[in-house]
Each structure stands twice: as structure tokens, then as C-alpha cells.
Amino acid sequence: MPKEQAKRTKLVIGNWKMHGRLVENAVLLQAVAAGAATLQKGVRTGVCVPAPYLAQAQALLGGSLAAWGVQDISAHVQGAYTGEVAAGMAADFGATFAVVGHSERRAYHCEHSDLVAVKALRALEAGLTPIVCVGETLEQRDNGSTEQVVGTQLEAVLLMLSEEQATKIVVAYEPVWAIGTGKSATTEQAQQVHAFLRAQLASKGAAVANVPVLYGGSVKPENAEELFAQQDIDGGLIGGASLKSNDFLAICQAAQNGSV
Ligand code: 13P
């Protein structure tokens, strides 16, 4: 394994999306807490839950090696923004992570990259780690604009942050066509985009080049190890498979195999 890759901790984060209810969550969270205890130092894990379940995540993951977070936050600090959840509110419940700019937010809530950048800043101000999602549609891939699309999405965030702030983000490359489709990017496709994103991060500052760049999109126990073995893939953002504890923990295990 290249030395450069071995230095970076692997990160496997579940994104539950709008799934879960109290009773079933408890079983899943307990399994994640137990599974996290079996991971070695080179792998970190966590789950981003629907905001109403933050307190439950805090109760059941608190004291474990698993972190928790939210799937979106408001671009505002507080105020008359009905229905929104501020970064500080998530931080009150011990959250570590806030996903920002997920393609489902971009597509269904018209979130543009400048808004995503403000959300990343709000997360950092509240002490949360923003997981900044970027990714192209199938049409964009087919017409050869993948790098231009993800580059523009990431650039908006890098422009908003200082170099020091940028060292504290996580980036997730999630090709839209691979999300929930069962059709993952090939390792070569993913690595190519990750290397591109890494170079863009490096242009913000040497320390920024080492932020984790996760892959998301139909990651399963069967393809995780090969993906995570790529030089610039530092782990995964896991949707569907994060709802099944056995699959999620097998993916965490795959990250471990790639990190030793
Ligand atoms: P799937 O793993 O279900 O494809 O979802 C990926 C994703 O969108 C994670 O944020």
C-alpha cells in the first residue's frame, strides 16, 4: 500500500436518510456501538441520523467509539426559519458530523453550492465537522463534465473557508448515478475523481490535502474493500447498507483491512 494512504485514518459514516423509528434504531445503534469497539485505531465510524433521533444516538452511542451527526443543517445560526435545524442544536446533542450538500438536498431542495458553502461554515463555527458532498449526474458524466461539476461544487466551499477551517472538513464523492442504484462507480472511476479532488484540496494548502475524501454510492460489503484500498479513497459514506448492522459493520471491517 502506498505510504501516503496509510497515514490517513479511514472513516466510515452511515447516512440513514429518512429511515428509522425509535425501536429499530435502538437495535441498530447498539450494534454499531458494539462493532465500533472492535475496530482498530486506523478506522473511525459514525452514523448521521434524522435530527429527531439525535438524543437517542447520543444516549446509545455516547461513551462508545462511534460518533453521530445530522444529514443537513441550516445556513442560519438561529431565527424565524420554520422547520430548520441549526448546527448549534445538533452540537447540543453531542453531534460530531453534519452532512452538507447531499445530492438529494441539491436535487429536491434546490440547494446550490454557495448555500452548501455557508452550511459548511456554520457547521465549523458550531464545532461540527461538515461532510461536504459532491457528485455528478449520469448525464454530466456522459458528456465529460464530471471534473468540472465536482470541482465547481468543492471550489465554492473552499472559497468560503480559511485554510485552517478547510483542514477540518470531510469531502464525500457521491456520483448521483450510483446512489441507491446498486451500481457503484468502478474503483478506477472513483479513484480518478478522488485524485482530482485531492489535488484541488492541495491547492488550498498542504494540510488541506490530507482531509478525508470518502466515496459514497452503493457501497456494500462486497465492494468496500477494493474501493477503500484505492490511494485516495479514505472510507465511505454509506446509505442503504448502513441500515443493516451486519452490512455496515462488515464495511467498517473492510476499511480496517485496507488500513493495516
Ligand atoms: P447508497 O449507499 O444507498 O447508494 O447511498 C449513498 C448515499 O447517498 C450516502 O450519502
Say whether pLDDT at 183 is over 50.
yes
DSSP count for the chain of H helices, then E strands: 12, 8
Calpha distance 160→168 (Å, rounded): 13
Say whether pLDDT at 3 is over 50.
no
20-38: per-residue pLDDT in tens? 999 999 999 999 999 999 9
The predicted model scores a pTM of 0.96
Residue 174 known to be catalytic: yes
206-215: per-residue pLDDT in tens? 999 999 999 9
133-143: per-residue pLDDT in tens? 999 999 999 99
185-224: per-residue pLDDT in tens? 899 999 999 999 999 999 999 999 999 999 999 999 999 9
Residue 194 known to be catalytic: no
Rounded to an integer, the average pLDDT of 52-63 is 98
Residue 74, H or E segment = none
77-116: per-residue pLDDT in tens? 999 999 999 999 999 999 999 999 999 999 999 999 999 9
Looking at 104, 111, 136, 174, which residue is catalytic?
174
- Determine the atom of ligand 1 nearest the C-alpha atom of 17: 10
Instruction: Check if 107 has its Cβ closer than 6 Å to any atom of ligand 1.
Output: no
- The C-alpha cell that represents 93 in the structure block: 446533542
Say whether pLDDT at 7 is over 80.
no
CATH of domain 3-257: 3.20.20.70
The pLDDT of residue 12: 98
Residues 116, 118, 119, 123: is their CA dihedral positive or negative?
positive
Q: What is the pLDDT confidence band of residue 41, given thresholds at 50, 70 and 90?
A: confident
- Determine the atom of ligand 1 nearest the C-alpha atom of 242: 2
102 Cβ contact list (under 8 Å, min separation 6): 15, 71, 72, 133, 174
Cα 235-240-244 angle, rounded to 5 deg: 90
Helical H runs in the chain? Answer: 3-7, 22-36, 54-61, 87-92, 103-108, 113-125, 138-142, 146-160, 163-166, 187-202, 221-228, 245-259
Instruction: Check if 69 has its Cβ closer than 6 Å to any atom of ligand 1.
Output: no
Looking at 102, 104, 111, 136, which residue is catalytic?
102
Give the number of other Cβ atoms within 10 Å of residue 84's Cβ.
15
Ligand 1 centre from 203 Cα, in Å?
Answer: 28
